[in-house]
């Protein structure tokens, strides 16, 4: 099971990316899978933008499917998009809980006065906490 979590900014730029479980150091074909996840997430952005206006919820559930990959979406109040690309069927409740806690973590990180809006999040603390959330809800 692999999950790829990405926070996408207003200009369709990735602000934060997380692969769970983390990649081992130097496996031969792992970049192919990583690029496929990025491609599938980027391709689903238009569907997320359509779904956010049709749904009154922040959690958009399953937005897109590609072969054996499924994309779940979440849109924040400021229209940042959170996407998870995964290859297994996870319960919608665990996805919803992950998104809600990741959103709280995102809000805390962006309230930092030294953070410039719509730029990549490079905090090691943010990455550790996001990994802990992935381990809790996506494992």
pTM, entire model: 0.87
Range of the domain at 27: 3-137
- The number of distinct structural domains making up the chain is 1
Give the model's confidence band at 25: pLDDT under 50 very low, under 70 low, under 90 confident, else very high.
low
| 31 pLDDT more than 80 | no
CATH classification at residue 61: 3.30.450.70
Per-residue model confidence as pLDDT tens digits over 62-96: 888 888 899 999 999 888 999 999 987 778 888 89
Kindly report which listed range (22-26, 34-38, 123-127) carries the lowest average pLDDT score. Answer: 22-26
**DSSP codes joined into one string, the chain:** --EEEEEE-TTS-EEEEEEESPPPSS-SSHHHHHHHHHHHHHHTHHHHHHHHHH-SSSEEEEEEEETTEEEEEEE-TT--EEEEEESS---HHHHHHHHHHHHHHHHHHHTSTTPPTTS----HHHHHHHHHHHHHHT-
């Amino acid at each position: 099971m692999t999950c790829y979590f990405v926070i996408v900014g207003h200009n369709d730029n990735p602000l934060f990316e997380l692969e769970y479980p983390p990649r081992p150091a130097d496996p031969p074909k792992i970049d192919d899978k990583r690029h496929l996840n990025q491609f599938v997430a980027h391709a689903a952005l238009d569907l997320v933008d359509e779904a956010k206006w049709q749904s009154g919820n922040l959690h958009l559930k399953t937005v897109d499917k590609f072969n054996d990959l499924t994309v779940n979406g979440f849109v924040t109040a400021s229209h940042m998009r959170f996407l998870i690309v995964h290859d297994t069927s996870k319960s919608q409740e665990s996805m919803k809980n992950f998104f809600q806690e990741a959103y709280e973590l995102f809000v805390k990180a962006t309230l930092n006065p030294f953070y410039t809006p719509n730029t990549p999040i490079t905090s090691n603390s943010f990455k550790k906490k996001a990994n802990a959330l992935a381990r809790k809800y996506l494992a």
